[in-house]
């Protein structure tokens, strides 16, 4: 993970310093911001992860996340002192990729950081292929086309901007068209972490956001169907 840059936006100086020391000990480059406004000014294309506190004076973490999503799909890991499910879902709906309730262990924080960075920097940046080597560059179903080399998604010829999590959910389901994925299947495959009951809400929010972006009518989905009592299935257009 050497050289990977992370932006930490946290108003608590002690937490900010502890997170910085932990990440730097693992080889990460860390930039810090004590509030949302400063964090937005420091956001740059070389940032591979944003660690964002939800409860901050002035601009809240939710608002900061919404502003980041207007110009970047960099992974966002929320730190929250609120443990209620509604607060967690609010962060995910704003565009967050994961959340970690306070107080948290540094081991758990580091695990989540590495998982998010790995998906963003390793999975999303495919190495150049040797000339002449054949590979399946596209996955298509109905009007959806995924360019697996450049991680681009189009729906009926129009480019759709997905977050890293949304992209990998769609890719996994299109690679396994017709297979039913439970919330646990999706969470453990995409987040690469053990599944707990409250993780179901996390999966549900990301499926909902993905449908809004790829379906003509997210209330009557054609591509990602809910199989009641079992999970979700990608069927494609009939």
The residue among 136 and 19 whose pLDDT is bigger is 19
Structure confidence at residue 182 (pLDDT): 94
Structure confidence at residue 127 (pLDDT): 46
Largest CA-CA distance found in the chain, in angstroms, rounded: 55
The answer to whether 117 touches 3, Cβ cutoff 8 Å, is no
- Over 50: is that where the pLDDT of 133 sits? no
Q: Is 180 left (phi over 0), alpha (psi -120 to 50) or beta?
A: beta
Which domains are assigned to the chain? 5-123 (3.40.50.2300), 138-234 (1.10.10.10)
Question: What would the pLDDT profile of 32-66 be if each residue is shown by its tens digit?
Answer: 999 999 999 999 989 999 999 998 989 999 999 99
| Residue 128: DSSP 8-state | P
Structure confidence at residue 191 (pLDDT): 85
* pLDDT band for position 7 (cuts 50, 70, 90): very high
Structure confidence at residue 135 (pLDDT): 43
Structure confidence at residue 169 (pLDDT): 94
Question: What would the pLDDT profile of 182-193 be if each residue is shown by its tens digit?
Answer: 999 999 888 878
The residue among 211 and 82 whose pLDDT is bigger is 211
Give per-residue burial for 58-90: e unless 16+ CB within 10 Å, then b. ebbbbebbebbbeebbbbbbbbbebeeeebbbb
Instruction: Indicate the burial class of 208 (C-beta count within 10 angstroms; 0-12, 13-18, 19 or more).
Output: middle
Structure confidence at residue 60 (pLDDT): 92
216 CB neighbour count, 10 Å cutoff? 12
**90 backbone dihedrals φ, ψ, rounded to 5°:** -60, -40
Nearest by Cα to 112 from 123, 124, 122, 97 = 97
pTM for this predicted structure? 0.66
Mean pLDDT (the chain) is 86
Question: What would the pLDDT profile of 205-224 be if each residue is shown by its tens digit?
Answer: 999 999 999 999 999 999 99
């Amino acid at each position: 993970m050497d050289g990977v840059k992370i932006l930490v936006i946290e108003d608590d100086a002690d937490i900010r310093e502890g997170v910085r020391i932990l990440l730097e000990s693992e080889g990460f480059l860390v930039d810090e911001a004590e509030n949302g406004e400063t964090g937005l000014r420091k956001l740059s294309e070389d940032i591979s992860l944003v660690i964002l506190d939800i409860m901050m004076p002035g601009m809240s973490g939710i608002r900061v996340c919404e502003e980041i999503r207007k110009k970047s799909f960099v992974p966002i890991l929320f730190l929250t002192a609120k443990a209620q499910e509604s607060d967690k879902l609010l962060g995910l709906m704003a565009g967050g990729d994961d959340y970690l309730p306070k107080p948290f262990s540094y081991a758990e924080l580091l695990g989540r950081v590495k998982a998010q960075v790995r998906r963003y920097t390793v999975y999303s940046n495919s190495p150049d292929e040797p000339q002449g080597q054949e590979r399946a560059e596209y996955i298509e179903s109905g009007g959806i086309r995924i360019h697996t080399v450049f991680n681009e998604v189009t729906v009926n010829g129009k480019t759709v901007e997905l977050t890293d999590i949304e992209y990998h959910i769609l890719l996994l389901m299109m690679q396994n068209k017709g297979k039913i994925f439970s919330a646990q299947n999706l969470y453990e495959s995409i987040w690469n972490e053990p599944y707990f009951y409250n993780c179901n809400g996390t999966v549900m929010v990301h499926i909902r956001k993905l449908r809004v972006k790829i379906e003509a009518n997210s209330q009557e989905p054609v591509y990602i169907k809910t199989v009641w009592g079992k999970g979700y299935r990608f069927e494609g257009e009939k």
